Amino acid sequence: MVKKIVKRGFASDNNSGVHPEILKAIESANAGHVVGYGSDPYTEKAGELFQEHFGRETETFFVFTGTAANVLGLSGVTRSWNSIITAFTAHIEQDECGAPEKFTGCKVLTVETPDGKIKPEMLTKHMHGIDFEHHSQPKVVSITQTTEMGTVYTSEEIKALADFVHDRGMLLHMDGARIANAAVSLKLPFKAFTTVAGVDILSFGGTKNGMMYGEAVCFLKPGISKDFKYIRKQGMQLASKMRFISAQYIAYFSNELWRKNARHSNSMALLLAEKIKDLKEIKITQAVQSNGVFAIMRKEVAEKVSKTYFFYPWNEYTSEYRLMTSWDTAEEDIDNFVALLKKELGI
Amino acid sequence: MVKKIVKRGFASDNNSGVHPEILKAIESANAGHVVGYGSDPYTEKAGELFQEHFGRETETFFVFTGTAANVLGLSGVTRSWNSIITAFTAHIEQDECGAPEKFTGCKVLTVETPDGKIKPEMLTKHMHGIDFEHHSQPKVVSITQTTEMGTVYTSEEIKALADFVHDRGMLLHMDGARIANAAVSLKLPFKAFTTVAGVDILSFGGTKNGMMYGEAVCFLKPGISKDFKYIRKQGMQLASKMRFISAQYIAYFSNELWRKNARHSNSMALLLAEKIKDLKEIKITQAVQSNGVFAIMRKEVAEKVSKTYFFYPWNEYTSEYRLMTSWDTAEEDIDNFVALLKKELGI
Amino acid sequence: MVKKIVKRGFASDNNSGVHPEILKAIESANAGHVVGYGSDPYTEKAGELFQEHFGRETETFFVFTGTAANVLGLSGVTRSWNSIITAFTAHIEQDECGAPEKFTGCKVLTVETPDGKIKPEMLTKHMHGIDFEHHSQPKVVSITQTTEMGTVYTSEEIKALADFVHDRGMLLHMDGARIANAAVSLKLPFKAFTTVAGVDILSFGGTKNGMMYGEAVCFLKPGISKDFKYIRKQGMQLASKMRFISAQYIAYFSNELWRKNARHSNSMALLLAEKIKDLKEIKITQAVQSNGVFAIMRKEVAEKVSKTYFFYPWNEYTSEYRLMTSWDTAEEDIDNFVALLKKELGI
Amino acid sequence: MVKKIVKRGFASDNNSGVHPEILKAIESANAGHVVGYGSDPYTEKAGELFQEHFGRETETFFVFTGTAANVLGLSGVTRSWNSIITAFTAHIEQDECGAPEKFTGCKVLTVETPDGKIKPEMLTKHMHGIDFEHHSQPKVVSITQTTEMGTVYTSEEIKALADFVHDRGMLLHMDGARIANAAVSLKLPFKAFTTVAGVDILSFGGTKNGMMYGEAVCFLKPGISKDFKYIRKQGMQLASKMRFISAQYIAYFSNELWRKNARHSNSMALLLAEKIKDLKEIKITQAVQSNGVFAIMRKEVAEKVSKTYFFYPWNEYTSEYRLMTSWDTAEEDIDNFVALLKKELGI
């Protein structure tokens, strides 16, 4: 047997396990036969819950990973001669091994941002060559909420981007791998900063917030992606025993588990930031608006501490590190981490 | 809540749920943090178990679906100007919505078979245009074990195919979505009809035999696919919380759960076949060697019975139907099905 | 300098050179500057000529090769989850190195034919799995006119296929690499067996009939392929100095050069067939309806003769050879070939 | 007939026609039959000429367009999980409609440059995530010589880039659409700033310098791209009557036609720059090192002049325009252009 592991670090919210209520829902769905591939009552119910949260016209398709949700969602609204514009720090640019290009055939264009957040004026540099066959045609702007730096777009900021893209016949995609953390941070229902603000396609993530696996592609406008069922299947993302993804989402939306988990991880990040922000040599580099803390610290210190509490460097050139909290981070984890950090800092 | 469903049909082995030991293993792995994306002790252990069963040089990569295992495994050993040869009835030809072509860029060539089993002489028609740049270069033959018709290749038959392809600088791929059922049917260890018989790449499936999700791409020869880790990630199949796939495989190989489940489903298919083979109007069309029974029956009869015990037509032109048993099929399911069938047949 | 070569063989109509009128047209277009990439008066004029021959709604796009015309034309009307059905002997199946799969992402399905001609009933085996996301959705049937075996579809046969596919929401594509030979054979204007008979997309070839380079993708129905200009550019087939393709087509359609050339090559094939059909050991295997003669002959004989008059084996298993005539084949070429063949046959 | 056009503008060097010596070579190759697809003596001879200019190990493959040369050359040395780094202004980034992404599957990363020239230190921002499966692996740096801004890399600059990439196991690609202009500008043989300086893959262009069509992919190191013949064919770029491309290259390298043409167009650009650089309101923005002049001028002025002498805006935000000279630009064209420009400027 594999020895049980109880250590919790700050490497990533997906290093955490699964919330017990999610596991219970999986068990509960495990009875008898249901039709495979999503024609089951669990999936029907889960789809309805997405409509409650995002609007009655929402079409939801489950896939396995966040990368798949992004890539297939974008594939559903583009042709290969389009371009997709995103932040240089975006997951689709840095962390998907070129899956967007390989699968959609599109060009991915980037803009530089200080905090992971795109502003309309940053997009201008890519708004040329329209109708010119030599040039990839801009079709989608993709934002991440919360961003890869833990910052959060306000619904006004999202609306401004939506207006910019819609004015140009384009669409707005949101990578919501940590959308629950954003909702908690903004103190808003999901719909307010997505459907209502003008988002067209959403990758809804649950795995980083206590689920086991299974993300969702949500088309928030009607008719936006005909034939997506073929894209999902050809994209190798159609689950045979889909009920076990759907059951997780039913539990996730019930009793506000999503909110409970995200509220906890956000508050842990704030606590962590509070406790380290004034330490000598430590410099927090991004506003702590969700469940990540970005901080500059000396490399030797970081490496020593991360042997016990694992976390990743974010930018080796600036000696910046990323500390992620998660739904199961305990206050004592933070206390222990801070104590060790202080020791290494010689405080 | 979604109402619990206890009915069991004969539509597909993936309409069944998850074996309790699998669920228990998932729960058991759910403690503390482990590094995501497969750098965890559960995944290490699972990889070792695959080496025990398939040989010390086996490299195993988990993915989510059988389609993904096939497509990515084939992608790992081909370039886009290759062709892949398979049976016309193969899953990669009929049931993957063109994922092999889209992702590998290869041409998929087919041969007609009476029973889903390829014989070397059937391949000859595609063995031309070698080194000729106008023609896709044959690189892989892909067989399914058990076949989509429930028949099983002997290890001698597999060896003959392996010799044929290896003599031509090609490779042999096995889609093992139901490989456990084959092992039970052949009364052989996995290795005897895979690695030892000359199979190069294997899709190892567990979902149809009591697992929840997660299939494996196994490279059985050393060095056969450098850089596969990038193919998996770009193929959107890298699981963040991979321990929950790995834990399932640990349980699957422990106490021979794979064998227990497959033995049961195979025996249920034999029982079912025994009980219907002599019924008037029923004609069993394929040898019952694993967990599927193929039978011709009148359309009206089939449609009535399948309202209660769901199953699929296989070939509408010949009025042939497919009845799949699974790890949880009960004798009473068969008794009840046969009783209903007899009633509809007027017996 | 490269030594001039005056020998003419029977290997392929594209081993021939360029008709002098074509060369003259190229020279004539070589004056001053015109806007590149097709916005020039030559291309406008050539487009009008296509409309004269194929109907007022024809949209014509020049590309470089026949493979490109086929692949991009098919790409213009498919999505990657579609399938394209063609004859096993078709150029898109045998001679394009998987370009259709790589570029369109589609599955290419085949039917066996005795003479390269598809009949509606042959298509039935692929007409299943409609609306079923696991299965590639049939979208186009692609026929070759003249076929790769030199046979010619009648307009009635084409209409029957067009009706079959249109009834199923599909489209009919014609690979017209040798369409001029077909028109001459049928004694019909182009339109009669294309637009009028129900063809939707046409690859129009001129290179095999006396042009230098440059084939055309013709969409014969309005609105069939929006955005094709992007497909052509992304397909690397947008010519900068397009006027030199267009000028060739202007000459090709003027004074019926296309007809003159095709009539000549067809008549040479008939002459060749006439002269060898009764020779001992020679068996002509396909109706001689255009500019190809297919004949079984002894391998040793064929290899000796082809040292002087180069031609290719068609099927090594049956010892079948392909003899192609072209616009510049002279009667004396045939006389000399036949004399040599007789000598080798010991006649 | 299409009316002959004798006007010459400054829109692009590919708006010009074909040099008479090229046309003559085409005519001269037009005799009898040769084997198609490149197995002909013209292609053999042309390959030898490339080896004379680029080194004995050079492998040359003809394709039709510059886009194809870039995309297929890059495809020959990458896998889809690689990234390709280039200048934001590069042709592969701005003007190929996403063909690199679609065909190679790779991510294209960019760096900002003031003059189109990449310096090693600019590449650092993309040198991370090495061996990390989440991140596209950097494989090629692609530079354009002359750049899209008419500037020219010195051989030392190229060597510095080659050292940088080779130290990291990467390769250096050169888009040489205007390589002849660079050679003339540098007063160096081709080899000195390509093979000798460390370039691995070269797109060699002739169309912009007096040829009709046909560019070359040159692999300058042995064994760098096995199996490229399949990539070219699957890339729809294998010419059937290849002798007519090869004959052009034979003429192009004979009597230094490439040098004569490039020297002329370069000198015309210098003359043009000389004559407008001191005009009021005109500001030349890039060093004039080859056959392009980049200048800021008032939009109304530019638009009026370009009605007679067609040229393109380069950057609408800065009111920058691009004036290209070509092999056939006459001094009187420049005189007339300058006279008109002065008139519109009110001088």
In terms of DSSP bridges, do strands B283-284 and A312-315 run parallel, antiparallel, or are they unpaired? unpaired
Residue A4 pLDDT > 60, yes or no? no
B70 in the same domain as B187: yes
A58 in the same domain as A151: yes
Give the mean model confidence (pLDDT) for residues A166-188.
98
Closest chain D C-alpha to A316 CA, distance in angstroms: 9
Residue A87: C-alpha distances to residues A80, A108, B13, D285 (Å): 20, 10, 44, 30
Scan for tokens 């060699």, then name that residue.
Answer: D204
d(C-alpha C15, C-alpha A321), whole Å: 65
Interface touch C101/B96, C-beta < 8 Å: no
Scan for tokens 């900002």, then name that residue.
Answer: D112
Give the mean model confidence (pLDDT) for residues B89-103.
98
Residue B280's CB is within 10 A of a number of other CB atoms, namely 9
Res D1: pLDDT: 54
Interface touch C133/A81, C-beta < 8 Å: no
Mean per-residue pLDDT of chain C: 96
Interface touch D133/B232, C-beta < 8 Å: yes
Residue A323 DSSP one-character state: E
Domain assignment present for D12:
no
| Residue D31 pLDDT level (bands cut at 50, 70, 90) | confident
Q: Which residues of B touch D (CB under 8 A)?
A: 37, 79-81, 105, 133-134, 137, 227, 229-234, 238
Residue A6 pLDDT > 80, yes or no? no
Q: Which of A8, A23, A326 sits opposite B30 (nearest CB)?
A: A23
Q: Which of D11, D17, D213 sits opposite C239 (nearest CB)?
A: D213
Which range is least confidently modeled, A60-69, A300-309, B6-15, D49-58?
B6-15
In terms of DSSP bridges, do strands B283-284 and B201-204 run parallel, antiparallel, or are they unpaired? unpaired
Count, residues in chain C = 347
* Closest-CA residue of chain C to B67: C134
pLDDT tens for each residue of B35-57: 999 999 999 999 999 999 999 99
Domain end point (choices D204, D234, D256)? D256
Scan for tokens 């292609």, then name that residue.
Answer: D43
Closest chain B C-alpha to A290 CA, distance in angstroms: 20
Residues of C within 8 A of A37 (CB-CB) are 133-134
d(C-alpha B153, C-alpha B175), whole Å: 12
Q: Can you state the percent helix, strand and coil of chain D, rounding each to 5?
A: 45, 15, 40
Its domain, for residue A315, covers 262-345
| Residue D316 pLDDT level (bands cut at 50, 70, 90) | confident
Percent of chain C clearing pLDDT 90 (strictly above):
92
Domain assignment present for D2:
no
Which range is least confidently modeled, B273-287, C100-114, D304-318?
D304-318
d(C-alpha B76, C-alpha B74), whole Å: 5
**Cβ pairs C/D, distance under 8 A:** 194
d(C-alpha A175, C-alpha C340), whole Å: 72
HSE value, Cβ hemisphere, 13 Å, CA-based, for B17: 19
Mean per-residue pLDDT of chain D: 96
Domain assignment present for C208:
yes
Q: Which of B81, B105, B230 sits opposite D81 (nearest CB)?
A: B230
Interface touch C6/D250, C-beta < 8 Å: no
Domain end point (choices C256, C276, C300)? C256
Please determine, for the modelled complex, whether the ipTM score is greater than 0.85: yes
pTM to 2 decimals?
A: 0.97
Give the mean model confidence (pLDDT) for residues D276-303.
96
pLDDT tens for each residue of D201-251: 999 999 999 999 999 999 999 999 889 999 999 999 999 999 999 999 999
Closest chain D C-alpha to C228 CA, distance in angstroms: 12
A124 in the same domain as A173: yes
Give the mean model confidence (pLDDT) for residues C147-163.
98
Domain assignment present for B11:
no
Interface touch D11/C35, C-beta < 8 Å: yes
Res A2: pLDDT: 62
The answer to whether C9 touches D33, Cβ cutoff 8 Å, is: yes
Count, residues in chain A = 347
A270 in the same domain as A156: no
Res D47: pLDDT: 98
d(C-alpha C177, C-alpha C172), whole Å: 16
The answer to whether B236 touches A68, Cβ cutoff 8 Å, is: yes
Mean per-residue pLDDT of chain A: 96
Q: Which of D105, D137, D233 sits opposite B133 (nearest CB)?
A: D233
| Residue D2 pLDDT level (bands cut at 50, 70, 90) | low
Domain assignment present for D11:
no
Q: Which of D93, D98, D106 sits opposite A106 (nearest CB)?
A: D98
| Residue B31 pLDDT level (bands cut at 50, 70, 90) | confident
Q: Which of D15, D233, D234 sits opposite C36 (nearest CB)?
A: D15
Residues of C within 8 A of D36 (CB-CB) are 11-12, 14-15
Give the mean model confidence (pLDDT) for residues A280-297.
96
Please work out, in degrees rounded to the nearest 5, the angle formed at the alpha carbon of residue A267 by the alpha carbons of A261 and A269: 105
| Residue C9 pLDDT level (bands cut at 50, 70, 90) | confident
The answer to whether A274 touches A293, Cβ cutoff 8 Å, is: no
Q: Does C154 sit behind a cis peptide bond, omega within 30 degrees of 0 on the bond before it?
A: no
A278 in the same domain as A177: no
d(C-alpha C69, C-alpha A211), whole Å: 49
The answer to whether C42 touches C29, Cβ cutoff 8 Å, is: yes
d(C-alpha B131, C-alpha A190), whole Å: 57
pLDDT tens for each residue of D128-158: 999 999 999 999 999 999 999 999 999 999 9
A288 in the same domain as A154: no
Q: Which of C11, C33, C240 sits opposite D8 (nearest CB)?
A: C33
List the one residue out of B175, B109, B96, B99 whose CA is nearest residue B138.
B109
Interface touch C5/D41, C-beta < 8 Å: yes
Percent of chain D clearing pLDDT 70 (strictly above):
98
Q: Which residues of D touch A (CB under 8 A)?
A: 80-83, 93-98, 101-102, 105-108, 110, 124, 128-129, 133-136, 316-317
Q: Which residues contact D331 (CB under 8 A, 6 or more apart)?
A: D268, D271
Q: Which of B240, B324, B327 to mutate to test the interface with A (most CBs of A within 10 A)?
A: B240
Give the mean model confidence (pLDDT) for residues D319-340.
95
Residue A47's CB is within 10 A of a number of other CB atoms, namely 19
Scan for tokens 């080796």, then name that residue.
Answer: A316
Residue C3 pLDDT > 80, yes or no? no
Closest chain D C-alpha to B239 CA, distance in angstroms: 12
pLDDT tens for each residue of C87-144: 999 999 999 999 999 999 999 999 999 999 999 999 999 999 999 999 999 999 999 9
Residue A115's CB is within 10 A of a number of other CB atoms, namely 17
Residue D279 pLDDT > 90, yes or no? yes
Residue C8: C-alpha distances to residues B171, C263, C310 (Å): 42, 18, 8
- Burial (Cβ within 10 Å: 0-12, 13-18, ≥19) of residue D316: exposed
**Domain of A60: which CATH number?**
3.40.640.10
Closest chain A C-alpha to B18 CA, distance in angstroms: 6
Residue B138's CB is within 10 A of a number of other CB atoms, namely 23
3-state secondary structure of D172: strand
Closest chain B C-alpha to A281 CA, distance in angstroms: 28
Q: Which residues of B touch C (CB under 8 A)?
A: 80-83, 93-98, 101-102, 105-108, 110, 124, 128-129, 133-136, 316-317
pLDDT tens for each residue of B68-84: 999 999 999 999 999 99
| Residue A1 pLDDT level (bands cut at 50, 70, 90) | low
d(C-alpha D204, C-alpha D54), whole Å: 11
Interface touch B32/A42, C-beta < 8 Å: no
Domain assignment present for C4:
no
**Domain of A335: which CATH number?**
3.90.1150.10
pLDDT tens for each residue of C17-71: 999 999 999 999 998 899 999 999 999 999 999 999 999 999 999 999 999 999 9
Res A226: pLDDT: 87
Q: Which of A81, A103, A228, A236 to mutate to test the interface with C (most CBs of C within 10 A)?
A: A81
A162 in the same domain as A277: no
C209 in the same domain as C145: yes
Interface touch B98/C108, C-beta < 8 Å: no
* Closest-CA residue of chain B to C103: B105
D223 in the same domain as D186: yes
Give the mean model confidence (pLDDT) for residues B9-22.
92
- Enter the tokens of residue C230: 């992007």
Residue A291 pLDDT > 90, yes or no? yes
3-state secondary structure of A173: strand
pLDDT tens for each residue of B302-344: 999 999 998 999 998 899 999 999 999 999 999 999 999 999 9
d(C-alpha C162, C-alpha C120), whole Å: 9
Q: Which of D137, D227, D230 sits opposite B230 (nearest CB)?
A: D137
Interface touch B31/A310, C-beta < 8 Å: no
Domain assignment present for D90:
yes
Res C226: pLDDT: 87
User: How many domains does one find in chain A?
Assistant: 2
Mean per-residue pLDDT of chain B: 96
Residue C266 pLDDT > 60, yes or no? yes
d(C-alpha A100, C-alpha A103), whole Å: 5
d(C-alpha A301, C-alpha A316), whole Å: 14
d(C-alpha D170, C-alpha D141), whole Å: 8
Interface touch C81/A232, C-beta < 8 Å: no
Residues of A within 8 A of C80 (CB-CB) are 234
D278 in the same domain as D243: no
Residues of B within 8 A of D79 (CB-CB) are 227, 230
pLDDT tens for each residue of A30-62: 988 999 999 999 999 999 999 999 999 999 999
Is the torsion defined by CA of A218, A224, A226, A227 positive or negative? negative
A139 in the same domain as A205: yes
Better-scored residue on pLDDT, A160 or A347: A160
Output the DSSP codes for A113-124: -SSS---HHHHG
The torsion of the CA quartet C301, C307, C313, C319, rounded to 10 degrees, works out to 10
Interface touch C240/D31, C-beta < 8 Å: no
Domain end point (choices D226, D256, D286)? D256
Res D4: pLDDT: 55
B168 in the same domain as B50: yes
Residue C5 pLDDT > 60, yes or no? no
Domain assignment present for C195:
yes
Q: Which of D2, D14, D42 sits opposite C36 (nearest CB)?
A: D14
